[in-house]
């Protein structure tokens, strides 16, 4: 699917709302805050901008953000978990503007975190940007995952296989899937107007995952820390344009 200029204008607006939700949640994510407080801050941005949530009600998901602390990889449900000094917290959220979607995530430290946690977050974010750099017309889809994987594994970390990035546009999750690893084939040619959410999930230990009894929260099987960074990006004539940065 290739998006035209009018569609991309709406996706840029959705992306700016997501960036503002990130800023608002980052502000609140201090020791003593609950993950429900993060959800509340993100909701206030959606209301202020007249945007809709693509997370709320998604297969019954009860919030506008996913909040995943420490060994939780993705899909944590905001609630009474209270952030404490030394935690890392992954915050994933999205917005819909005039029917077009944005989706992005980041991981941050709460107070003073361990050197390992710092390194994991730094490497995961760097792996995302390495993947984004591959989003040039003429490259292949799986050049993205190959670049992500190389950065993560060179640092001694592992990439999650069961959860992947995705196409995005008039739905949050569209084809194709965008794995964070080399799947053994190059995949389709990248063309201007294609929009993907690229979202490496990187574990300090092994790549295996377990879903908790709530049916949502995905954690590392070995209890190791996990980080998650995501942007929504369009392949443009001039290279990748990230739609979910502030501006």
Residues near Mg ion (CB under 5 A) are: 92, 103, 105, 197, 199, 230
Cα 132 to Cα 62, 85, 146, 178, 214: the distances in Å are: 30, 32, 11, 11, 33
Residue closer to Mg ion (CB basis): 81 or 196:
196
What's the min distance (Å) between Cβ of 53 and Mg ion? 12
Q: Kindly provide the b/e burial profile for residues 141-179, where b requires at least 16 CB atoms within 10 angstroms of the residue's own CB.
A: bbbbbbbbbbbbeebebbbbeebbbbbbbeebebebbbb
What's the min distance (Å) between Cβ of 61 and Mg ion? 12
Residue closer to Mg ion (CB basis): 12 or 238:
12
Residue closer to Mg ion (CB basis): 116 or 148:
148
Residue closer to Mg ion (CB basis): 95 or 190:
95
What's the min distance (Å) between Cβ of 178 and Mg ion? 9
What's the min distance (Å) between Cβ of 166 and Mg ion? 6
Residue closer to Mg ion (CB basis): 12 or 75:
75
Please provide the distance, in angstroms rounded to a whole number, between the alpha carbons at the two ends of the chain: 26
* SS3 state of residue 164: coil
Q: Tell me phi and psi for residue 150, to 5 degrees.
A: -60, -45
What's the min distance (Å) between Cβ of 163 and Mg ion? 9
Rg over CA atoms, the chain: 17
Pairing of strands 165-167, 158-159: unpaired
């Amino acid at each position: 699917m290739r998006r035209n200029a009018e569609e991309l204008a709406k996706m840029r607006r959705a992306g700016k709302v997501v960036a503002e939700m990130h800023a608002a949640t980052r502000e609140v994510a201090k020791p003593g805050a609950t993950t429900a407080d993060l959800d509340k801050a993100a909701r206030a941005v959606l209301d202020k901008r007249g945007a809709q949530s693509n997370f709320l009600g998604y297969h019954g998901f009860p919030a506008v953000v996913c909040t995943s602390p420490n060994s939780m990889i993705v899909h944590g449900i905001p609630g009474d978990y209270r952030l404490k000094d030394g935690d890392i917290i992954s915050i994933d959220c999205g917005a819909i503007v005039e029917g077009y979607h944005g989706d992005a995530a980041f991981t941050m430290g709460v107070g003073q975190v361990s050197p390992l946690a710092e390194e994991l977050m730094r490497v995961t974010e760097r792996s995302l940007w390495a993947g984004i750099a591959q989003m040039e017309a003429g490259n292949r889809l799986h050049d993205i995952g190959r670049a992500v994987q190389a950065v993560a594994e060179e640092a001694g970390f592992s990439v999650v296989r069961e959860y992947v990035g995705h196409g995005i546009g008039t739905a949050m999750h569209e084809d194709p899937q965008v794995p964070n690893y080399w799947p053994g084939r190059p995949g389709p040619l990248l063309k201007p107007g294609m929009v993907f959410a690229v979202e490496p999930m990187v574990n300090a230990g092994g790549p295996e995952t377990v879903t908790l009894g709530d049916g949502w929260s995905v954690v590392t099987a070995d209890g190791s820390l996990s980080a998650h960074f995501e942007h929504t990006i369009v392949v443009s004539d001039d290279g990748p344009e990230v739609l979910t940065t502030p501006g």
